[in-house]
Structure 1
Amino acid sequence: MDGNGRWAAQRGLPRIEGHRKGSDSVSEVTRAARRLGLPALTLYAFSAQNWERPPDEVEGLMDLLREYLFKERAEIMDNDIRLHAIGDLDRLPARVREPLDELRRDSAGNLKMILTLALSYGGREEIIAMVRKVAEDKLRPEQIDAKAVEDRLWTAGLPPLELVVRTSGEVRVSNFLLWQLAYAEIHLSETLWPDFGELDLLLALEDFQRRERRFGKTSAQLRRS
């Protein structure tokens, strides 16, 4: 979800207007993902490092997030979407946390798609939280394996990550889902997030379908399996 600021700057608008248009893209892409039958969609909405932005921008982002939760409530419920959130959610202000928690509870039984918002999220921070949980649970060294780690990540219970779409021409991972990225495919889009829509999502999915996912094996091994 990168490029909101550049989108606004190109039009001589305040940065918050780029974020506002980006919120519209969240709604459009979520609807498209639901129509296309995707089982899960995770959106990197606000990073742990975004707290370091100017206070007025952070406040504006929190206001937009609160507005989104109220505006999209009916859409989420009517389309059988389960809302989930990952990150250091305790840092979110009460005016955001309360409607977020309420919609998460109310949509918990929805089955068609899991929509995960990464809020106050960082991949390193997630791994640190996991290590602390391992220590709290007093696991012996021989008990620590991939499953033990994954069960203690914020993404526990979510489907494996298969495709990452990076918008606005950026080529870095930006501290996003660092453990989960291990065998994910990455699609790079030049489109700024506020302009990203269903067609861009379809192009990413078509690119993904052309990939040969080997998971460390050779092509010959895959053909024999």
Structure 2
Amino acid sequence: MKPVSTSIPRHVAIVMDGNGRWANKRFMPRFVGHKQGVDALMRTVKACADRGIEYVTVFAFSSENWKRPEEEVSGLMGLVLVAVSKYLAKLASEGVRIRIVGDREAVSSQVRAAWDETERRTEHNERITLSVAFNYGGRWDVVQACRRAIEAGVPAHELTEARLSEFMALSHAPDPDLFIRTGGEVRISNFLLWQVAYSELHFTDCLWPDFGDAELDAAIATFAARDRRFGGVKTALAPLMADTRSAA
């Protein structure tokens, strides 16, 4: 793979962390923080589109989040339906294509129907693709991809990295160039384990509901300053290496 020299990432992945803590700091129910987090997502998608970013993938609900209090989980499921009814028309009119990635089996038929409608109404949009990872886990993704490859009859000797990638939940998008996590935690938390192998990582203490243009631009600036070699070396080093080999 050739080195990439661009100041704007093509694909940004975001762990939207800190909604509950944002609410707790204001002595509000955690659910209020999640509602504010949806507003922050809408702002961020628009800001990414304005900057020429083609893909945004967000971690909305992990396969581990079912361990949270039942009231909070129920509220998050209801928030999905509210968000669809409140924002779908606006996102569709602004050229946003929405894809849902994750295991759909555990959610209600009502939520699945809302997702289907969302994907159908935005399927022809091309300005930016928003992938929402819901009931998603990176390890689950690898396992389900292997199962789908086996079911498709892919012979073992043909199962390359590129071939397996075709069965991953995010096969419709290139691997993320930039991975952002808000909320002060410094870990990937089982998000896009396969896809972020060469992503540039950016961690910020900003709680997700407070995330805005300034934080996004800071992350992009961090990305632009990185030297992405994908395991290779700088071309400028080649003559020096050749001289060293000659001397030996």
Q: Which has the higher helix share?
A: 1
TM-score by length of 2: 0.87
Q: CA deviation at 1:93?
A: 1.5
- Is structure 2 residue 39 aligned with structure 1 residue 3? no
Residue 144 of structure 1 deviates from its aligned partner by 0.6
Tell me which of the two structures has the higher relative contact order, counting C-alpha pairs closer than 8 angstroms and 6 or more residues apart.
2
Name the CA distance, whole Å, in 2 between partners of 1:78 and 1:106. Answer: 10
Counterpart position of 1:161: 176
Q: Which position in structure 2 is the counterpart of 1:44?
A: 59
- SS of the aligned residue for 2:196 comes to helix
Q: CA deviation at 1:188?
A: 0.8
Per the alignment, residue 131 of structure 1 pairs with: 146
For residues 183 and 116 of structure 1, the distance between their equivalents in structure 2, rounded to whole angstroms, comes to 19
Residues 169 and 189, structure 1, Cα contact 8 Å, conserved in 2 = yes
The 5 Å alignment of 1:209-220 reads 209-220=224-235
1:221 Cα deviation from its structure 2 partner: 6.0
- TM-score when scaled to structure 1? 0.95
Return closer, same or farther for 1:205/1:223 CA change in 2, 3 Å cut-off.
farther
Greater C-alpha radius of gyration? 2
CA distance in 1, matches of 2:236, 2:100: 38
SS in 1 for 2:58: strand
Match of 1:152 in 2: 167
Instruction: Rate the CA distance shift 1:65–1:145 in 2: closer, same or farther, 3 A.
Output: same
Report matched runs for 1:1-225 at 5 Å: 1-220=16-235
Q: Which runs of 5+ in 2 are unaligned?
A: 1-15, 240-248
Per-residue displacement from partner, 1:76-134 (whole Å, max 9, x unpaired)?
A: 11111111110002222222221211110111111110010000000001111011112
**Residue 41 of structure 1 contacts residue 114 of structure 1 at CA under 8 Å; is this kept in 2?**
yes
Gaps of 5+ in 1: none
Name the aligned partner's letter for residue 136 of structure 1. E
More moved, 214-223 vs 204-213: 214-223
Report the CA distance shift for 1:222/1:127 in structure 2 as closer, same or farther (over 3 A): farther
Instruction: Give the root-mean-square deviation of aligned CA atoms.
Output: 1.5
Corresponding letter in the other structure for 2:207:
L
